[in-house]
Structure 1
Amino acid sequence: MAASRMTEPTYLVLLALADEPRHGYGIVQEVRALSDGDVRLGAGTLYGVLDRLVAAGQIAPDHEEVVDGRLRRYYRITESGSAAAAVETERLAALARRARRVLAPRPALGNA
């Protein structure tokens, strides 16, 4: 049975946390950078993804700090989250390999 597919925002959030803990706005900025500006997470989407990833044990709160009177909660990826991101990366790579094969130019069937 195939593993369940990850949504693009979920995958990008995991990637955004792969190298260091980040707070919400930092995650949004990193997702935008990783997607070359194609994915812009709104607050509702971001915090929905974060809640699901925490519940799944793929990320965890790391620490909190107050900046300019506002609380920033930082999240970090867990081993489970790193493993899930690696599985999804391989799934996407395999899909891209299949797509390249299907889209490869084929010799024209000539009239001999």
Structure 2
Amino acid sequence: MGKKRTIESYLPLTPALFHVLLALADGEKHGYVISKEIARRTDNEVNLSTGTLYGIIKRLLEDGMIEESSERPDFSLDDQRRRYYRLTKLGRTVAEAEAERMERVLALARLKNVLGPQNA
């Protein structure tokens, strides 16, 4: 076994990777729903191609930030070829650390008058 990674060693996350973790933060989803949620939530600023999305999913699986769910919706309501994914404890911790890192960057931007005050 290799050396255990620190949470900080995963940071910073790419925006696309962070969006995938955010999409899974409120529950299990399959790839198509992850992609559609990201596009909707970002007003189509972030549109992940199928190849990009599944490359990210593969990396997140390998890093242990997400896992494939064995639970399935009712057979009559779902395509059995779909794979559902969920955050692991590590994935949630890394997402939280990235959000906190981004908050610090935004605070610095406000301090340097690059971004207006939070309650402006």
**TM-score after normalising by structure 2:** 0.78
Q: Which runs of 4 or more aligned residues in structure 1 lie more than 2 Å from their structure 2 counterparts after TM superposition?
A: 63-68
User: 1:55: which partner in 2?
Assistant: 62
Same amino acid, percent of matched pairs = 38
1:48-84 alpha-carbon deviations (Å, 9 max, x no partner)? 000000000000001357745x611000000000000
Q: Counting strand residues as a fraction of each chain, which structure ranks higher? A: 1
How far the C-alpha of 1:34 sits from its partner, in A, is 2.6
User: Partner residue of 1:74?
Assistant: 84
Tell me, yes or no, if the aligned pair for 1:22 and 1:76 is still in contact at 8 Å: yes
* CA distance in 2: counterparts of 1:17 and 1:57, whole angstroms: 14
Q: 1:20 aligns with which of 16, 24, 27?
A: 27
Give 5+ residue unaligned stretches, structure 2.
1-7, 116-120
User: Unmatched 5+ residue regions in structure 1?
Assistant: 106-112
Are the structure 2 counterparts of residues 104 and 25 from structure 1 closer, same or farther at C-alpha, using a change threshold of 3 Å?
Answer: closer
**1:109 maps to which residue?**
none
Larger radius of gyration: 1
For residue 39 of structure 2, the aligned residue among 9, 32, 45 is 32
Task: Tell me how far apart the structure 1 counterparts of residues 52 and 105 of structure 2 sit (CA, whole Å).
Answer: 26
